[in-house]
Amino acid sequence: MGRNYAAHAIEMGHDPNRESPFFFQKNPDNLDPSGEFPYPPHTSDVHHEVELVVALKSGGTNISVDDALEHVWGYAVALDMTRRDLQGEAKKLGRPWEIGKAFERSAPVAPLMPASGTGHLDHGRIELKVNGEVRQEGDMNQMIWKVPEMISYLSEYFELAAGDIIMSGTPSGVGPVSKGDVMEASIDGLGTLKVVVV
């Protein structure tokens, strides 16, 4: 889900007023639990974006907001790594974003935590540090579109299913990383994901 925190929408040059949700897709094999992020080719401007992952245990179409959380299995901390220069070129040309977003290992992810243990997450600190310095910080209550609304909206356009993963947007403070950097992404209740840029 793109531009789901108002401050991030502003930093990316967009109006943060609530509008129809905006989304794009990564590929399933982009998810990577290894703890390493290989710096990708054909770019000199790769940005970090810390995000809450929502993992579904069931799905369907036209799911109501009131029923949406019944389909959630659990949550995780993840990063939506972005070749920002390639994404910017695609935006200018009105082309899809996959070249900037859906490259190999572009979604480092921590282990999924069951909602039965964490509860359903709708508030709490979300943060990213690079080499010990806080780059991104916010609270999940700042999401424009909450988890039940995201699930309901997506189910109007796609048939959702068990195993589907939704990445829920990032707070402000996105920025570049370089080889050797250590990223630490954390969300209250889910712990910390440590990823080294290699």
Looking at residue 53, its pLDDT comes to 97
For the chain of 198 residues, list the mean pLDDT of each consecutive stretch of 10.
78 67 88 98 97 98 98 98 95 91 97 97 96 97 94 97 96 96 98 98
Looking at residue 18, its pLDDT comes to 60
Contact 144, 5 (CB under 8 A): yes
For every residue of 154-194, DSSP letters joined together read HHHHS-B-TT-EEE----S--EE--TT-EEEEEETTTEEEE
Looking at residue 13, its pLDDT comes to 67
Contact 71, 63 (CB under 8 A): yes
Looking at residue 61, its pLDDT comes to 98
> CA-CA distance, 11 to 4, in Å (whole number)?
12
Task: Give 184's strand partners.
Answer: 129, 194
| End-to-end CA, the chain | 27
In the block, tokens 């195993």 appear at 163
Looking at residue 21, its pLDDT comes to 76
